Amino acid sequence: MKVLISLLFFITTVCIWASSTTVDFEKEVFPLFQERCIECHQAPQEKNGRLIKPKAGLRMDGLAHLMFGSDDGPVLVPNHPSKSPLYNRVNLPSGDDDLMPPKGDPLTFEQKDLIRRWIGQGADFGSWQGATDGIENLTREDSLAPGKVPEFVTFYLNLGKGVKPVEPEVLEKAREQSGLHIRTIGLESPLLEARSVTQFKKVTDEKVAALLPLAGNLVHLDLCNTALTSAGCATISKLTKLVHLNLRGCPIEDSGVQQLTTLKNLQSLNLGQTQVTSQGLVGLVKLPALARLNLWESKAVAPELVRLVKVRPNLEIIK
């Protein structure tokens, strides 16, 4: 991975991203997909005696299928709309043969920007799973690795090996005490994700502590805009299975994030809109698995970040 420090200083971009509203996939994005996309991008079906297959091999009726992509490869790159063919196709000039959707009027500016913001916020599907038929056949053949399973699928399969599922009563108690939405990351997977979906400010340090019994299974944690403080980071430091952590908009400071150096499996960390400075990141950038660090609208400043990147030249920093 090449060194990348994304300095989003373009006025129009900053104005749009300044909104702290998280896009709700099920309520905002999926209805758009249903209206304009899924007719051509769903499970094979018989129509007028003919078998209709999804166009370009892309299915948009299920999470696993959408993340797998089309015959040409992935169509979604979370956090990067400009690298996502799904977004680029809806922005092609009128008359272009590859413009999507091909029928009807082009998407409006608001609709295209909704997709852009959703991808830019990490392509968060919430609790939506969609169609799961055929996911065992999601393999992509190429000349170097015939039958290769998508990397993200293989990663979580390996991460879940030997991990026992959380007992239902333990899981239900954690849900009740934390006030978070907690679910498995996939069918029959023992791995869990937890996120706040309502009443964000009621999710306090004490409520987050209710996640400790799930430490061996919890891999995704989204506490965006909750009331988690630096003190609550002591709890998170014990959730050492975490791969993705979103603390955007939380009232945390350097003293909090400095406790997260125990998260050796952490691949992505969102500290946008926090009080965290470059000083608090010194230990974090040394985490062996960390590949993406989002510092948008944080207190970290670019000149100091350049020096930090020298420690981890392959770390992508979004600023």
Tens digit of pLDDT for each residue in 203-216? Answer: 999 999 999 999 99
CA atoms of 157 and 189, how far apart (whole Å): 8
Q: Give the CB-side neighbour count of residue 53, counting CA atoms within 13 A.
A: 5
Residues 187 and 260 in one domain: yes
For the ranges 68-72, 76-80, 212-216, 315-319, the maximum mean pLDDT occurs at: 212-216
pLDDT of residue 7: 29
Closest Cα partner for 281 from 256, 258, 303, 264?
258
Could you tell me if residue 6 is inside a domain?
no
Could you tell me if residue 270 is inside a domain?
yes
pLDDT range class, residue 283, cuts 50, 70, 90? confident
Residues 278 and 227 in one domain: yes
Kindly tell me the sign of the dihedral angle through the C-alpha atoms of 67, 72, 78, 84. negative
Closest Cα partner for 203 from 192, 215, 195?
195
Domain residue limits at 263:
151-318
Cβ-contact 91, 113 below 8 angstroms: no
Could you tell me if residue 169 is inside a domain?
yes
- The pLDDT > 70 percentage for the chain reads 88
Residues 72 and 180 in one domain: no
Could you tell me if residue 133 is inside a domain?
no
**Total domains, the chain:** 2
Residues 119 and 168 in one domain: no
Stretch 221-226: mean pLDDT = 94
Residues 181 and 68 in one domain: no
Could you tell me if residue 17 is inside a domain?
no
* Contact partners, residue 146, CB within 8 Å, separation at least 6: none
Stretch 144-173: mean pLDDT = 77
| Average pLDDT over the chain, rounded to an integer | 84
Could you tell me if residue 12 is inside a domain?
no
Stretch 185-207: mean pLDDT = 87
- Last-in-domain residue among 123, 140, 162: 123
The answer to which of 25-34, 225-234, 284-293 has the lowest mean pLDDT is 284-293
Could you tell me if residue 2 is inside a domain?
no
Residues 189 and 280 in one domain: yes
Element (H, E) at 259: none
CA atoms of 275 and 253, how far apart (whole Å): 5
pTM of the model: 0.59
The answer to which of 61-65, 143-147, 249-253, 288-292 has the lowest mean pLDDT is 143-147
CA atoms of 125 and 22, how far apart (whole Å): 11
pLDDT of residue 19: 42
Closest Cα partner for 191 from 228, 227, 152, 237?
152
- Residue 292, pLDDT above cutoff 60: yes
Whole-angstrom CA distances from 305 to 277, 281, 284 are 10, 9, 12
Residues 193 and 247 in one domain: yes
pLDDT range class, residue 47, cuts 50, 70, 90? confident
| CA of residue 261 relative to chain centroid, distance | 21
pLDDT range class, residue 149, cuts 50, 70, 90? low
pLDDT of residue 140: 65
- Residue 275, pLDDT above cutoff 60: yes
Kindly tell me the sign of the dihedral angle through the C-alpha atoms of 305, 223, 75, 86. negative
- Residue 153, pLDDT above cutoff 80: no
- Residue 4, pLDDT above cutoff 60: no
Residues 97 and 191 in one domain: no
pLDDT of residue 147: 47
- Residue 96, pLDDT above cutoff 60: yes
The answer to which of 95-99, 172-176, 265-269 has the lowest mean pLDDT is 95-99
The answer to which of 18-32, 114-128, 180-194, 280-294 has the lowest mean pLDDT is 18-32
Stretch 214-232: mean pLDDT = 95
What length does the chain have?
319
CATH of the domain at 307: 3.80.10.10
CA atoms of 41 and 55, how far apart (whole Å): 6
Residues 256 and 198 in one domain: yes
CA atoms of 205 and 207, how far apart (whole Å): 6
Could you tell me if residue 8 is inside a domain?
no
- Last-in-domain residue among 103, 123, 143: 123
